[in-house]
Chain A
Amino acid sequence: MNIQEATHTYTLRLGDNALILGHRLSELCSKGPILEEDLALTNISLDMIGRAQALLKYAADTEMLGKTEDDLAYRRPENHYYNNLIIEQPNGDFAHTIARQLFVSVFEFLFYTELEKSKDTTLAAIASKTIKEIKYHMQHAADWTLRLGDGTAESHKRMQKAVNDLWMYTGEFFEMDNLDTFLLHQHIAVDASSLKLEWNKYIKTALNDATLNVPEDSFMQTGSKKGIHTENLGHILSEMQYLQRAYPDAKW
């Protein structure tokens, strides 16, 4: 493993997380529960797609095969995608969308705060750009967690169910494989496993403020670092990649 190849894969994983969640949230365009939420969710989606563009461009550059960020987005099958499993889970009801946003944005806040210190100057620059946007996503998710959790009996029940349903996908955030460890020693990657304590603390505060229970850690789903996904990713890609698959090299 050399640094450049490892950096390519590392960046690709981060880019995939941003791209797939950006696409998921874009599905809510014109379907938000209220107009303000429609604006919020699509704005967050836009931030994610902007981050994905920056990361996938860098992933293409470090691959040195003359590809573009669009090639990486539109020309890879699902087993060559490396986003975390929680990212690709369906939007479900609004409580599921918010629980996913809370878990992901708190993790991203902690992760990108560390990545800002990376020796890789491109990753560090993207991190410091994106961290400001993530703080806003976090506030949005925490606000809604509070409103739904400490809202009506029905919203409380649904929010607790969403938190419970998605909990088994949160273990993946903190996994470190050989590639992560290799780049950690090069002072490029983040030690994700060290963020769990802090993440638990933030989540506990947000959930308890919202009168919600923190689930017990039990079985955790895994597989994304090896390109193993839930059935949901294939559906996203078949929609997202349709045009480039049907009309290769089509341009606006």
Chain B
Amino acid sequence: MITTEPTLEYIYNLISEIPDPEIPVITIKDLGILRDVKFVDNKYVVTITPTYTACPAMGMIEDQIKEILFSNGITNVKVELTYSPTWTTDWLSQEAKLKLKKYGIAPPNHSSCTKLFSTIDVVVCPRCNSKHTELISRFGSTACKALYKCDDCKETFDLFKCH
């Protein structure tokens, strides 16, 4: 039985460890999807932002936030979606980038690397650190990734695109 109102920090900590449904090695906090927790009109309002406009994981993330809070006895919850400020891969911490690399996904460079009408800068293979890599497809298994191959270790790998 909760006798005092839970603090915003308590709520934030509860939900910040939710893994991303597509890339379970990083959390929604690491990715910058979890933006804010506020208390408005007797409700805990959790604000999240999509990585891509049509990111299909948003519904699941909303459900997971509610599930965790409900199971901790907090039911006055509302999850809101915001597009502003616009999500960028620059929000990924150094730690999150290392986790991605360890998982076999090449982490994004700074988002300003995206040039018009040109291919992306040198991508380093997350397995053998070779710079001899080749783009196979600009679009990969999810909206946020592109498919590459390494000419040295011959493995294919995903690049988390600059955005």
Is A67 positioned at the interface, with any CB of B under 8 Å from its CB? no
B136 touches A129 (CB 8 A): no
Taken together as a complex, chains A and B put the C-alpha atoms of A48 and B138 apart, in Å, by: 17
Closest CB in chain B relative to A157 CB, distance in Å:
24
Is B12 positioned at the interface, with any CB of A under 8 Å from its CB? no
A39 touches B55 (CB 8 A): no
| Chain A contact residues, CB within 8 Å of chain B | 36, 39-40, 43-44, 46-51, 53-54, 109, 121, 124-126, 128-130, 132-133, 135-136, 138-140, 142-143, 205-206
Is B117 positioned at the interface, with any CB of A under 8 Å from its CB? yes
Given A36-B147, A54-B83, A135-B116; A129-B53 close (CB under 8 Å): yes
| Chain B contact residues, CB within 8 Å of chain A | 50, 52-56, 82-84, 86-88, 114, 116-119, 136-140, 143, 147, 161, 163
Given A36-B139, A126-B83; A142-B117 close (CB under 8 Å): yes
B83 touches A139 (CB 8 A): no
A132 touches B116 (CB 8 A): no
Known: A46-B143, A128-B83, A135-B114. 20 other contacts (CB 8 A): A39-B137, A40-B137, A47-B52, A47-B54, A47-B143, A50-B50, A51-B53, A53-B53, A54-B53, A109-B116, A125-B82, A125-B83, A125-B84, A126-B83, A132-B88, A136-B114, A136-B138, A139-B116, A139-B118, A140-B139
Best-buried of A40, A46, A132 by chain B (most CB within 10 Å): A132
Partner of B117, one of A44, A124, A139: A139
A129 touches B138 (CB 8 A): no
Best-buried of A43, A46, A47, A138 by chain B (most CB within 10 Å): A43
Taken together as a complex, chains A and B put the C-alpha atoms of A170 and B126 apart, in Å, by: 43
Given A36-B139, A39-B139, A47-B53; A132-B117 close (CB under 8 Å): no
Note all chain A residues with C-beta closer than 8 A to B52.
Answer: 46-47, 50, 133
- Say what secondary structure dominates the interface of chain B: loop
6 contacts between A and B (CB under 8 A): A36-B137, A46-B56, A53-B54, A132-B163, A138-B116, A142-B117
B84 touches A50 (CB 8 A): no
Taken together as a complex, chains A and B put the C-alpha atoms of A109 and B136 apart, in Å, by: 25
Taken together as a complex, chains A and B put the C-alpha atoms of A39 and B138 apart, in Å, by: 9
Note all chain B residues with C-beta closer than 8 A to A48.
Answer: 54
Closest to A116 in B: B86
Taken together as a complex, chains A and B put the C-alpha atoms of A20 and B140 apart, in Å, by: 23
Note all chain A residues with C-beta closer than 8 A to B88.
Answer: 132
Closest CB in chain B relative to A114 CB, distance in Å:
16
Taken together as a complex, chains A and B put the C-alpha atoms of A138 and B138 apart, in Å, by: 12
Note all chain B residues with C-beta closer than 8 A to A132.
Answer: 86, 88, 114, 163
In order of increasing CB-CB distance, the 4 nearest A-B pairs are A50-B54, A50-B53, A36-B137, A125-B84
A49 touches B54 (CB 8 A): yes
Note all chain B residues with C-beta closer than 8 A to A49.
Answer: 54
Closest CB in chain A relative to B36 CB, distance in Å:
15
Taken together as a complex, chains A and B put the C-alpha atoms of A112 and B50 apart, in Å, by: 19
